[in-house]
Homo-oligomer: A and B are copies of this chain.
Amino acid sequence: MNIQNVILGFLVEKPMTGYDIKQMMENSVSYFFDASYGAIYPALKRMEKDKLIEKEVVQQEGKPNKNLYVITLEGKKAFQAYMDSPLNPTLIRSDLLMRIFFGRHTNPNKIMEWLNTEKEKAQAQLDNLSLVDKKYPDMERHKKITLLYGIDEAKFTLGWIERELRRLAEEGA
């Protein structure tokens, strides 16, 4: 999976601008994929050149013009090829776990700080996704599956962090 596959996936569902795509990603897949504008815009250019998508300039009053991208037949085929290709392994890179792993070379307070930082993030994630879930009760089946996964995962992470914090507090006492 790369940025191109993801963009194709969104454009299969409806035409969008680079800006739209970024917004979409942020409030739907951000907890398992993210991309910057610096990745999205060049990708769109490349894909247009490769005839996977077509640009349609939309004039707007009081706003800058938009480049609305529409997927082509070739683009749809490329997306299908991605969906038919072998599954790529999940990538995880956790600075928190790495630091805990080397935790004996720091003081316990720092570990608690890290855990608290991460706890807030997990809580924010949980709140945000729960809100999305409430806001769109008729969400498409598959999108809902991943959303619920995100919620479950945030709860799992939160639970783990809280248990660790409690343990560290007890040991410190």
Q: In the complex, which residues of chain B have a beta carbon less than 8 angstroms from the beta carbon of A28?
A: 101
Which of the 9-residue segments A46-54, A58-66, A126-134, A136-144 touches chain B?
A: A136-144
Return the CB mask of A30-51 against B: 1 if under 8 Å, else 0.
0111000000000000000000
Query: With A and B bound together, what is the CA distance between A87 and B111 in angstroms?
Result: 10
Q: Is A160 an interface residue (CB 8 A)?
A: yes
Query: With A and B bound together, what is the CA distance between A9 and B92 in angstroms?
Result: 19
Out of B31, B90, B118, which one reaches A95, CB within 8 Å? B90
Q: Taking each of A87, A152, A156, A160, which has the highest tally of chain B beta carbons within 10 Å of its own beta carbon?
A: A87
Q: Least Cβ distance of A163 to chain B in Å? A: 9
Assess whether A90 is in contact with B93, with CB atoms less than 8 Å apart: yes
Of residues 1 through 17 on chain A, the ones whose CB sits less than 8 Å from some CB of chain B are 1, 5-6, 9, 12
Out of B33, B87, B90, B118, which one reaches A87, CB within 8 Å? B118
Q: Least Cβ distance of A104 to chain B in Å? A: 5
Assess whether A101 is in contact with B29, with CB atoms less than 8 Å apart: yes
Q: In the complex, which residues of chain B have a beta carbon less than 8 angstroms from the beta carbon of A153?
A: 156
